[in-house]
A and B are shown apart, each in its own frame.
Chain A
Amino acid sequence: MEKETDADIKTNQEQGQPTPDNGNQFSRSRRRFFKLLGGGIAVTFVLQDAFALLTDPENAAVLQQASPKKVGAWIHIGENDIITVYTGKVEVGQNIRTSLAQVVAEELHVPMASITMVMGDTDLTPYDAGTFGSRSTPSMGPQLRKAAATAHAMLLDMAAQQWKVNKSALRVADGKVINTKNNKSLSFGQITKGKQLLKEVSESTSLTPTEKWRVAGTSVPKVNGRELITGRHKFVSDLKQPGMLYGKVLRAPAFGASLATVDLSAAKAMPGVVVVHEDDFIGVAAPDAQTAAKAIEAIKVSWNNTEQPSRSNIFDYLKQHANDGRGGRGSSDKGDVKQGMAAAYKKLEATYNVDYIAHAPMEPRAAVAQWENDKLTVWTGTQRPFGVQDDLASKFNLSKEKVRVIMLDTGSAYGGKHSGEAAVEAARLAKVAQKPVKLTWTREEEFTWAYFRPAGVIEVSSGVKNDGTLISWEFHNYNSGPSGIRTPYEVPNQQIQYHPVESPLYQGSYRGLASTANIFALESQMDDLASLVSMDPLEFRLKNLQEPRLKAVFEAAAEGFGWGKTKPAPNHGYGIGGGTEKGGFTATCAEIAVDPGTGDVKVVRTTTAFECGAIINPEHLENQILGAIVQGLGGALFEAVDFENGKILNPHFAQYKVPRFKDTPVVEIIMLNRKDLPSAGAGEAPIVGIAPAIRNAIADATGVRLKTLPLVPDGLKANLGAP
């Protein structure tokens, strides 16, 4: 028989927890919670989250809505010694499956291997808005630490009760509570056996200080590394369900095109093929992928095209269609830029153009959808499983409880998988086919119908005094977005505005969001201002900078690179750029070489200094920084989505160039470990310095001050002048 106790449950009426009126329901909910998870103890942040697992309408009063602002997660310690962490966060290569387990292992004093992470499953994990904005480490990490520390304290209390000793004589090590007086020990499972204890995380729980970390702060290897290098890990695109069909969707030839005429008869006549035509959606499901492709080819279709922008006129289009943006997101004013410019010794105005670029995750969008009675289950690679659950529920008019989204560790995202297009498409096909359907987007679909990092136009008007201090800074961004739009430098007169535009191509989140564009423009402008007042670019930045954390990374990068120590070789140049984003501080120095004959630009070496508070996993942090540098190098040098009249012209790796082995410079990474500061995420911020550093290095080598991203998709020959 399982025993129960309510003693440890704190009451909090606001959060829908036990009151005289709903206490009985609460007990029932708790019992069902443990029935699902197995006996033991559990620590949660918000009790409703735990009960949201239970879909008994009887408990609706207790359930309410999971509160989206709270960070949901819980830790369960089972009678079998297994510790399971439930979080709605997902793994897309940023290694949070490892780092979040590390902080739990740290506070619970258990080996990494005893922790199982259940992530991004809407039936099993509490609501989470999504894995983006570098929030997992700064928000989920501390919450899990607190939950684990709360569980730690509970286990000590329970063992003390069981042994009838004072808990000061007890300590926790290696998944056991040990009585230091007699060396007796109880495993966590022995302590939690027969219990059904549910406790809310205690805000007052003391956490292990950073300097005493033994598991956190170390380079624990990727927890599922072996699965990946043996090919055993099942990505969504690898899943197979009994009786599963393969789906394919008919795509429009261009953005803005709509169906004119369609003849499905040939496709419908193909054996085993299910054809779905609902409004503008046409898709097929077939017993194998080849047949699905042939069925789509067999559909006779004509389209009504509308006039759409092209890459050649996109920057004019964005300027013409921009909202004034005053007072909107990212807008800020200080002093008076007119007076500032009037007082300037030197002025510099420039316009920067930034192309759309693609995330191009190696695993394209994929989903497997399965209907059982009226319950829909979809496996898909998304950064927002609960968002996709919402999309599916609204698309099929289902209550959320009838939709389960399961996110398997996915073949990367970089901000590019916030959406659930493949999930909705697969579910539409599966519903009609009445069989499970897998839909894997082709590379061409991923390059066309996913969304892009926005294109943008950035206008900067700046002034500097003769002593090299900034006096005026006016910055307008059209369409890129507001991230990283504010200058970190001290300027008394500023006007900064983001002007939103209705983008003609799908656009959305990206690694570092708009800061890749804004900091590029900002740091290019800073370099050119330094040149105007004949100052060293690093000295000019430091002179105008107060933020000590940003100063520290500039100084560390410069020191590591040997800035100012040597002169670049002929046709080589040195450049620097940096900034802050999402709680991370980064600076990159780059050395580039220009081939004077061909105009080819090669990045020879880079040094990046990065600081994001206390480091949880040095090896994995270094890997994220490396990844940001390499990805940022692509956007800096050559990546651009080419399109004409709404049609994407380069939807293949043969035409859309991404960084490869040969493009990769010698990458030096300096990590500043600030154990005194909370850990911030690192997947995004280190990308922002590389593009301006390369741009400024090209300027150093050639005097050519480029104002576009990408910088040199066709090399520098046109800029160097024909010999």
Chain B
Amino acid sequence: MELQVNGNKHTVSAASDTSLLYVLRDELDLTGSKYGCGEGQCGACTVLMDGKAVRSCRVPLSATQGKQITTIEGLEKEGQLHPVQQAFLDVDVFQCGYCAPGMIMSAVALLETNPRPSEEEIVAHMNGNICRCGTYPRIVKAIKEASNA
């Protein structure tokens, strides 16, 4: 099957019911998207599919046909961080950083549809992403900064 990731077309050998997360990580070695639960409960695997945030652990390869997938590896362009990444870096958000890629992808999706979200909207949109280190207020701050950038 074919997979369009970060503007590149890949032919992958995984079966059509394989989760997108496994194809990205194990077959394409795009390991920025993380396994956290395999059930769409934690958001660590969040990627964009045609610009919308999806939990890649719950998306079978078959559902990605003809869609554009963007992963954390696809945000930085020629050494320039995406404004959301830059804001997360500036705020120095994280502790362990394992949830970082999923958080950033969820935030990118939010700002693409809602460039000036209120705090309530940020919290509602991001609630499916878990940061067990508890950096939530710092993430909200970074998203606000990115929205003002």
Q: Which residues of A contact B (CB under 8 A)?
A: 92-95, 219, 221-222, 225-226, 228-235, 237-238, 240, 246, 288-290, 359-364, 409-412, 414, 440, 442-443, 619-620, 623-624, 626-631, 652-654, 658-662, 664, 667
Contact = CB atoms under 8 A, between A and B. Distances in A.
A412 B39 contact: no
Contact of A630 (B34, B99, B124, B134): B134
B130 A412 contact: no
Contact of A658 (B85, B128, B130): B130
A435 B52 CA distance: 39
Contact of B26 (A93, A288, A654, A659): A288
B22 A362 contact: no
A288 B134 CA distance: 33
Nearest to B128: A660
Nearest to B84: A229
Contacts of B1: none
Given A627-B133, A661-B123, A662-B127, A230 B41 contact: no
A623 B138 contact: yes
B48 interface: no
A471 B67 CA distance: 72
Given A412-B96, A627-B95, A440 B130 contact: no
Contacts of B135: 623, 626-627, 630
B77 to A, nearest CB: 12
A362 B98 CA distance: 7
Nearest to A92: B96
Given A222-B92, A627-B134, A652-B39, A411 B123 contact: no
Given A290-B15, A443-B38, 13 more contacts: A93-B96, A246-B26, A359-B132, A412-B98, A627-B95, A630-B136, A631-B132, A631-B133, A653-B37, A653-B130, A658-B130, A660-B130, A661-B136
B3 interface: no
A443 B39 contact: yes
Contacts of A659: 134, 136
B69 interface: no
| A221, A288, A440, most chain B CB atoms within 10 A | A288
B142 to A, nearest CB: 10
A363 B89 CA distance: 21
Contacts of A364: 35-36
Contacts of B18: 290
B71 A231 contact: yes
B38 to A, nearest CB: 6
A446 to B, nearest CB: 9
Contacts of B30: 231
Nearest to A232: B32
Contacts of B76: 230
Contacts of A226: 81, 89
A362 B126 contact: no
Given A630-B136, A652-B41, A222 B130 contact: no
A629 B132 contact: no
A363 B98 contact: yes
6 contacts: A231-B72, A235-B31, A237-B31, A237-B35, A626-B137, A653-B42
Contacts of B81: 226, 229-230
B104 to A, nearest CB: 6
Nearest to B95: A93
Interface string B61-103: 0000000000111011000010001001100111111111100
A653 B41 contact: yes
Given A94-B95, A229-B85, A662-B123, A440 B35 contact: yes
A411 B94 CA distance: 11
Nearest to B22: A289
B134 A229 contact: no
Main SS of chain B's interface residues? loop
A654 B41 contact: yes
Contacts of B131: 362
Contacts of B136: 630, 659-661, 664
A45 to B, nearest CB: 28
Interface string B95-124: 111111100100000000000000000111
A442 to B, nearest CB: 6
Contacts of A225: 89, 92, 94, 97
Q: Interface range on chain B: under 10, 10 to 19, 20 to 34, or 35 or more?
A: 35 or more
Interface string B11-35: 0001100100010011001111111
A279 to B, nearest CB: 29
A92 B81 CA distance: 25
B41 A234 contact: no
Given A361-B132, A661-B136, A410 B37 contact: no
B49 interface: no
Given A221-B92, A229-B89, A231-B71, A660 B36 contact: no
B92 A231 contact: no
B5 interface: no
| B15, B30, B101, B139, most chain A CB atoms within 10 A | B101
Contact of A362 (B32, B42, B122, B123): B42
B16 to A, nearest CB: 12
Contacts of B97: 93, 222, 225, 228-229, 233, 409, 411
A359 B136 CA distance: 17
Contacts of B99: 362
Nearest to B94: A228
Contacts of B29: 240
B140 interface: yes
B127 to A, nearest CB: 5
A361 B126 CA distance: 19
Nearest to A653: B41
A92 B94 CA distance: 11
Contact of B133 (A219, A289, A412, A661): A412
A653 B130 CA distance: 9
Nearest to B132: A362
A68 to B, nearest CB: 27
B104 A229 contact: yes
A234 B29 CA distance: 11
B140 A661 contact: yes
Contacts of A219: 92
Nearest to A413: B96
Contacts of A363: 34, 36, 96, 98
B44 interface: yes
B95 A624 contact: yes
Nearest 8 CB-CB pairs, A to B? A231-B32, A630-B134, A93-B96, A411-B98, A228-B97, A93-B95, A238-B31, A231-B72
A235 B134 contact: no
Nearest to A662: B127
B79 to A, nearest CB: 10
A289 B138 CA distance: 35
A221 B131 CA distance: 19
A664 B39 contact: no
Contact of A235 (B75, B88, B98, B138): B98
Contacts of A234: 31
Nearest to A442: B38
Contacts of B14: 288, 290
B94 A222 contact: yes
A246 B37 CA distance: 17
Contacts of A620: 92
Contact of B88 (A229, A359, A631): A229
A443 B37 contact: yes
A16 B117 CA distance: 65
Contact of A660 (B71, B101, B127): B127
Given A229-B81, A288-B26, A662-B127, A362 B36 contact: yes
